[in-house]
């Protein structure tokens, strides 16, 4: 082999490896949840349709309200993830079907990614009020308290 052929082969191998490395970093797309048919959702009629008719049209809900059976939710989400990075939500669709006490539909509401609010409930530290103890105070704080005073369950003579 001459030097030009070695250089060309080496360049081709490097280009192939670079192409393979870049193709491994392509994003993955996910579609999860209930993908609603718009015609079916728009055909739900308040004060006409019931739990059974909605279940017949849309199927079982993704979630039911915690404290009653009068709010049904159907969720769908589209997202992308690049390699090991955090998943990014690209589309969100929530259908909320609300029922009255008699089981008839009162409203059908739609929510999207624009209605989505990020909530960070974890502050990593719960504020407490009271006395702060050092490590040594916690370690030696109970010395002398064991068996000191207090009523005893042992009856004399037993």
Tell which residue, 149, 64, 44, 19, has the closest CA to residue 105: 44
pLDDT by residue (tens digit) across 2-26?
667 778 888 888 888 877 766 666 7
Choose among 59, 62, 50: nearest CA to 96: 62
In this prediction, residue 106 carries a pLDDT of 92
Q: Where are the domains of the chain?
A: 27-115
Question: Which pLDDT score is estimated for 151?
Answer: 57
Cβ-contact 94, 41 below 8 angstroms: no
Tokens of 110: 């739609």
Query: Left if phi > 0, otherwise alpha if psi is -120 to 50, otherwise beta: which for 120?
Result: beta
Q: Which helix (H) or strand (E) holds 138?
A: helix 135-140
Q: Could you tell me the pLDDT band of residue 147, with boundaries at 50, 70 and 90?
A: low
Token pair in block for residue 158: 């037993």
- The residue-averaged pLDDT of 112-131 equals 73
The DSSP secondary-structure symbol of 42 reads H
Do residues 113 and 89 lie in contact, with contact meaning Cβ atoms separated by under 8 Å? yes
Res. 38: pLDDT tops 60: yes
Amino acid 24: pLDDT: 64
pLDDT tens digits along 70-120: 899 998 888 888 777 888 888 888 889 999 988 899 999 888 888 777 666
CB 47 within 8 Å of CB 53: no
Q: Which residue has the tokens 């909605």?
A: 54
Residues 53-65, mean pLDDT to the nearest whole number: 87
d(C-alpha 38, C-alpha 51), whole Å? 19
The percentage of residues in the chain with a pLDDT greater than 90, rounded to a whole number, is: 4
């Amino acid at each position: 082999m001459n030097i030009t052929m070695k250089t060309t082969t080496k360049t081709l191998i490097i280009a192939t490896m670079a192409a393979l490395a870049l193709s491994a970093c392509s994003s993955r797309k996910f579609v999860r949840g209930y993908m609603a048919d718009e015609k079916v959702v728009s055909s739900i009629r308040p004060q006409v349709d019931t739990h059974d008719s909605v279940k017949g049209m849309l199927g079982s809900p993704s979630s039911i309200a915690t404290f009653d059976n009068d709010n049904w939710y159907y969720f769908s989400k589209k997202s992308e993830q690049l390699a090991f990075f955090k998943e990014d939500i690209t589309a969100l669709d929530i259908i909320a079907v609300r029922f009255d006490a008699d089981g008839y539909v009162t409203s059908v509401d739609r929510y999207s990614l624009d209605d989505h609010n990020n909530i960070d409930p974890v502050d990593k530290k719960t504020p407490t009020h009271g006395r702060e103890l050092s490590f040594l105070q916690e370690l030696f704080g109970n010395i002398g308290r064991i068996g000191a005073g207090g009523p005893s369950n042992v009856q004399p003579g037993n």
